[in-house]
Amino acid sequence: MRINGSKNYRVPTYNDLFWPGQGNLNLVPETAEQEEVGVGYESEKMTFDVGIYSIKTNNKIIWTPSGDSERPGVWVPINVAETSNRGLESTLELKRDFKGIRLNAILNYSYTLAKDLRLDKFLIFVPKHLFNGNLSITKNRWSLSLQTLYNDEVYSTQDNDSDSKVSIFFLL
């Protein structure tokens, strides 16, 4: 079992401030408080981990394609006054050996509620559900892998306009 808490401070990066035509010299540093609780289990054939977390951030720096009044449609960094990220992350890994063949499966899932608290809107490009998996078969020096990704729909504008959502996608 693990319990973690922290207070974090992040200054704007050089790119945040000075990226040609897109930097923002008016950015202020982020401050955040983070808590996490989780449990894990590990054996020769299986690893499992699950955790829940909460992060409250003031002046979160995000890059947004909405630009500003001087540069509409251009990706620029801005401060978001108050944000909240809460969620769950889990990982399961299974390992098996059979007649010189190694089978390995890894599954990851995350559930995230990321909101701009002042606007009561979801943060842009943060999916509520995200799943990825990897199945690999290895014999000697040869390996064959299959990977998959499921990404829930996301908003691409700060006002959460439904016409500007990026649809769910699944890759195999």
Mean pLDDT, to the nearest integer, of 78-97?
97
Residue 78 is part of which domain span?
2-171
Residue 126: pLDDT over 90: yes
SS (H, E, C) 30-94: EEEEEEEEEEEEECCCEEEEEEEEEEEEEEEEEEECCCCCCCCCCCEEEEEEEEEEEEEEEEEEE
pLDDT of residue 120: 96
Residue 56: pLDDT over 90: yes
pLDDT of residue 80: 95
* pTM assigned to the model: 0.86
